[in-house]
Amino acid sequence: MPKNSKAVKRELDDDVTESVRDLLSNEDACDDSFKKSSLIVDSPEGEGKECDVEEGASDGEEEERPAWNSKLQYILAQVGFSVGLGNVWRFPYLCQKNGGGAYLVPYLILLILIGIPLFFLELAVGQRIRRGSIGVWNYISPRLGGIGFASCVVCFFVALYYNVIISWSLFYFSQSFQQPLPWHECPLVKNKTNVVPECEKSSATTYYWYREALDISNSISEGGGLNWKMTVCLLAAWSMVCLAMIKGIQSSGKVMYFSSLFPYVVLICFLVRALLLKGSIDGIRHMFTPKLEIMLEAKVWREAATQVFFALGLGFGGVIAFSSYNKRDNNCHFDAVLVSFINFFTSVLATLVVFAVLGFKANIMNSKCVALNTNKIVALLGSDIEWSLIPHHINLTQVSQVTAEDYHQMIQIIKGVKEDEYPKLGLQSCSIEDELNQAVQGTGLAFIAFTEAMTHFPASPFWSVMFFLMLINLGLGSMFGTIEGILTPLIDTFKFDTRGVRPAESRLCVAVGCCVLAFSIGLLFVQRSGNYFVTMFDDYSATLPLLIVVVLENVAIAWFYGIDKFFEDLRDMLGFTPYRFYYYMWKYITPILLLLLLCASFIQLTMTPPSYSAWIQEEAVEKTLHFPPWGIAVCISLVVMAMMPVPVVFCLRYFNIIDENTSGLSTVSYKKGRVIKESPRPEDDDDASLIHGKTPSEAPSPMPGKSIYRKQSGGGGTEVDTAPNGRYGIGYLMADMPDIPESDFVGEDCVLFNKSMKAKPSHDLTNNQ
């Protein structure tokens, strides 16, 4: 535009001023809306018509992005995802192993230093950008866009074997409706009166788990064919997940009311019932007796950090996916603190329940041990043991009345008198502490130790049904978040909708396709050697890849995107500035701690040869075996495949094989409820357009008859619309030009941009405000 054309300049300035004022006047009316924005556009005939510009929509035709029906539903979804099977069968084991009650101290410290800051970070980026993990990290830094794809791959690997655990719980649940429970006692050999040798050498619950449920082979190399019972249960498990996910949060959110709350009902009922049983207090006392010297060991802190990391579901993408359906002004800081501490107190509650039940079981086992060894003493009286060594108040004629205290008193006297000969007598110490020190975790706790304890409960079928129904719900809650961490970024990114297909139908196709594929691959885990593959995937498909993913997430925000810019985003989104504590955590402390944890985990994996615990049928014992060469190759492949997207996407962006500025991902800006779609950066010869896929002539104007874009003269006297930098533009910073506040758009001194200036993409979450 000629510099001396004051009349034209004033007319254009008036147009811009009026348009901006019209937009600002509607700002208050949009405060409560966050799902869509209504823009009034000009039709070719000059008639104004309303067009909804929605998140992810290309032509205003798609449906708006789903949203949580209530804050409670969202909190329950996050709690259901973070509180899983690990809280019940991993945390109590770590407490017992790492100093009892003293373990809670390093766990709480690391929860504050690692858990809450990273959980808050994932909630914030998901809520701000309103995309799945792929879209979020591509928007933050296109070269680090592979982080989102890596999260999806890890989620898929975890979902493959996690649902197998749910299928095991379904099998035990279906077998719990009988009295007595089928694992109550060892079965007899067919057509004979003697007990099955494998069961006699182990125990009834151990035999039932390995032989009746899994029908396990002796090694991973012996496939053994499919276990049809577990195949049916796996099909049922994937069917439940699929039905809950086909409509997204609209369907899974309703399921959360039951799947997230029911486990707490069961845990409380179990705790009350267990406290009424003999020996439960012994278990709780053992649990909370602190061993302070163990706290000085580095291994304790490493295991506590790992548990914090996995307990909150960091890096999976489920946290980001769930928060992406939130309102823009939701207080995600409160959510992060609330869910983190709910997770912690759930772990403590589960630990109380586990050790109360294990204390009861230890008391039962100790009573059996006392009776067995008292009979041994009676048999040795008069030969190896003199009658004079037995205290007079102990009546050995009625063995069932001999208490643990009486037995220990006899043992001390016999040991003191026959010190040299005592080991040959074969008498056991029969200590409750020894029983409780037999640490069990994972499937050993849920399907062997706990099931054995429940056989001694009054009304044992009822408690068995409740317990395995709780495990199913805990597993499903985590599975919903894991699958959402796959579906949301895929649907947001690749736009599986085809012409004539509604978004709901396209999501159904993607969800069903994902579940069918996962079930097909999951058949690997329900063959006779399937349990060994579950161990392999659990150890190698998630640990290192997830740690690397979260390290990159933290670095991407703190150093690539900019921690100061991120704090501005949070202040704009939350209405207040978060504590300065998070600034130093995200920028310095948390990355350093994560790198230390990553190095420690890597060293542990490399120093420990890949191995698994195999059940040897003939000997009825567990033995540690090393993976065969092909098994080691699979372990390495799992880690490599999970992390491969990160360097691949980085190289594609870095060498411009895929243009860093044309990612194919549209993004959405949110300003007090208003949604303005941002299109990928156009080529230099193309004209910027508010609606992706429209030419400037076709693109609707935000206001009837007005344009918020400055018209500039182009070659040949043709005027084109270019988007100015600022709140209402398409979000690109002009080269070497500062951000322009709202006030700069109003008045005669409005800045004019030359079309020849090249646009530089901005990845600012605040939309360059």
Known binding residues are 80, 83, 87, 343, 474, 478
- Tell me which residue of 343, 335, 355 sits closest to 260, measured CA to CA: 343
Helix axes 249-275, 332-380, angle to 10 degrees: 40
CA dist., res. 297 & res. 102, Å (int): 12
CA dist., res. 700 & res. 684, Å (int): 21
CA dihedral 179, 185, 188, 189 (to 10 degrees): 120
DSSP 92-124: HHHHHHTTGGGGHHHHHHHIIIIIHHHHHHHHH
CA dihedral 15, 20, 25, 30 (to 10 degrees): 130
The helix/strand count (H/E) of the chain reads as 30, 10
Tokens for 318? Answer: 């489920």
DSSP 488-532: HHHHHHH----TT--HHHHHHHHHHHHHHHHHHHHGGGGBTTHHH
**Pair 37, 53: CB distance under 8 Å:** yes
**Pair 427, 376: CB distance under 8 Å:** yes
Residue count of the chain: 769
What contacts 649, CB < 8 A, 6 or more positions away? Answer: 143, 144, 145, 146, 149
**Pair 759, 734: CB distance under 8 Å:** yes
Kind and range of the H or E run holding 761: strand 759-761
DSSP 326-338: S-TT--HHHHHHH
Task: Compute and round to an integer the Cα radius of gyration of the chain.
Answer: 32
CA dist., res. 708 & res. 722, Å (int): 9
CA dist., res. 103 & res. 348, Å (int): 11
Residue listed under structure tokens 């000969």: 421
**What is the separation of C-alpha 145 from the centre of its chain, rounded to a whole number of angstroms?**
20
Q: Which residues of 431-455 are buried (b: 16+ CB within 10 A; e: fewer)?
A: ebeebbeeebbbbbbbbbbbbbbbb
What's the DSSP call for residue 82? Answer: H
| Partners of 670 in the β-ladder | 675
**Pair 765, 125: CB distance under 8 Å:** yes
CA dihedral 513, 515, 520, 521 (to 10 degrees): 110
CA dist., res. 293 & res. 99, Å (int): 8
**What is the separation of C-alpha 560 from the centre of its chain, rounded to a whole number of angstroms?**
25
Return the SS3 of 615: strand
CA dist., res. 356 & res. 284, Å (int): 6
- Tell me which residue of 160, 148, 310, 176 sits closest to 241, measured CA to CA: 160
**Rounded to the nearest 5 degrees, what angle is found at the Cα of 159, between the Cα atoms of 156 and 163?**
155
Which residue positions form the known binding site for Na(+)?
A: 80, 83, 87, 343, 474, 478
Q: What single letter denotes the amino acid at residue 307?
A: Q
Kind and range of the H or E run holding 713: strand 710-713
What's the DSSP call for residue 2? Answer: -
Q: What single letter denotes the amino acid at residue 49?
A: K
What's the DSSP call for residue 29? Answer: G
Q: What single letter denotes the amino acid at residue 206?
A: T
